Structure 1
């Protein structure tokens, strides 16, 4: 009889925990959809001019034109990219303001192609591109941090933003499955929500 009560109590506990996790998952989906819609409304008219796009699944704002972003092998932002960031970043922060409770991190991610001028060794190319992508994302983060009209957000930027260089680890492939070098060279702003953290807390309680 005691074991039966223990079994019933355990099943009740598991059901409650599953319901909690489901609630977090639903809240995450709602918050993600709302944030995507807010970003889309804010930037819809600008994306074509910027050669950018917003990924609904990953909440990435993706700047896709390497000719606009940096010079070949350089970490220095081109003037046009600076102008884009001057317009984009304050508005981006304004949108994120309404979703801060759901945000764990915002990553500025740098991606390269697998190519590296002067070598055909894939390992040398990978690590050279790693240093390049890391340098570029640091340069982007430093630039947007110093934009004058985001001064009131600087503390939040320091606590939430990270500059991450992935080298050629995540190439963009064409329809045949081959790397598209031009599209692979990109910079993204990616929101990471706290849904996973909330679920982990429920499991550990």
Structure 2
């Protein structure tokens, strides 16, 4: 019996050590994730900082979203075709954006083009119908952005293949609307398009947890 207890004790110690090692791995990934987030933000800000005001754009440090905030430059109301001004911006932005991200490819899971709208539609439209119409509109808009970006002549085949494998077009309608200080919807700021970098840190952590 005493021998059996010793076996169980050794197993318990080995398991606790294993859990401790895996916990340290998760901690290291979390630290590396934070450092990587900062590095990507700094690289984007260094590359595009001078154009942000000109393009009326912004970069969110927490979500790594490069956001185009001027709806009158992006699309006509209710339309999904890119306006000429937005095409000019994308001609400059996309090749440089891909060059910046090239250094971080191993840590990037996805680049998500996110389309956002306000909650309004035509006056007689119900709230529910307006939501789904805006969902369709925002999806069509992000698809237009992705298509135009992919077909740019300045991209080489390696870049095009990476876009195909890692870019996604997501229409979010008014699900993440911008609010005024009093809590009401800021319809102007809600209409926007963003390029959001999703890193793979959470995938690495899940692999470790699944292996415990």
Residue number in structure 2 paired with 1:193: 199
RMSD, aligned CA:
1.0
Contact 1:112/1:186 (<8 A) preserved? yes
Structure 1: gaps spanning 5 or more residues: none
Partner of 1:123: 128
- SS in structure 1 at match of 2:50: coil
Question: Any conservation in 2 of the 1:64–1:183 contact (CA below 8 Å)?
Answer: yes
Give the TM-score normalised by the residue count of structure 2: 0.94
Q: Which runs of 5+ in 2 are unaligned?
A: 1-5
- Distance in 2, matches of 1:183 and 1:148, equals 31
Asked if structure 2 preserves the Cα contact closer than 8 Å seen for 1:61 and 1:188, the reply is yes
Alignment match, 1:112 = 117
**Which of 79, 82, 87 lines up with 1:77 in the alignment?**
82
Question: Residue 88 of structure 1: CA displacement?
Answer: 0.6
TM-score by length of 1: 0.97
User: What per-residue deviation string (whole Å, max 9, x for no partner) do you get for residues 23-46 of structure 1?
Assistant: 111111111110100000000000
Separation in 2 of the partners of 1:203 and 1:23? 14
Q: Does the Cα contact within 8 Å between 1:172 and 1:179 map onto a contact in 2?
A: yes
Where do 4+ consecutive residues of structure 1 move more than 6 Å?
none
Query: Which whole-Å CA distance do the structure 2 matches of 1:95 and 1:13 have between them?
Result: 38
- Tell me how far apart the structure 2 counterparts of residues 68 and 62 of structure 1 sit (CA, whole Å): 13
Pair 1:37-2:42 in alignment:
yes
Shift of 1:120: 4.1
Q: How many residues align?
A: 205
| Residue-by-residue CA offset, 1:74-101 (whole Å, 9 max, x unaligned) | 0011110000000111000000000000
Q: Does residue 1:177 correspond to 2:183, yes or no?
A: yes
Greater C-alpha radius of gyration? 2
Is residue 119–residue 125 contact of structure 1 (8 Å, CA) maintained in 2? no
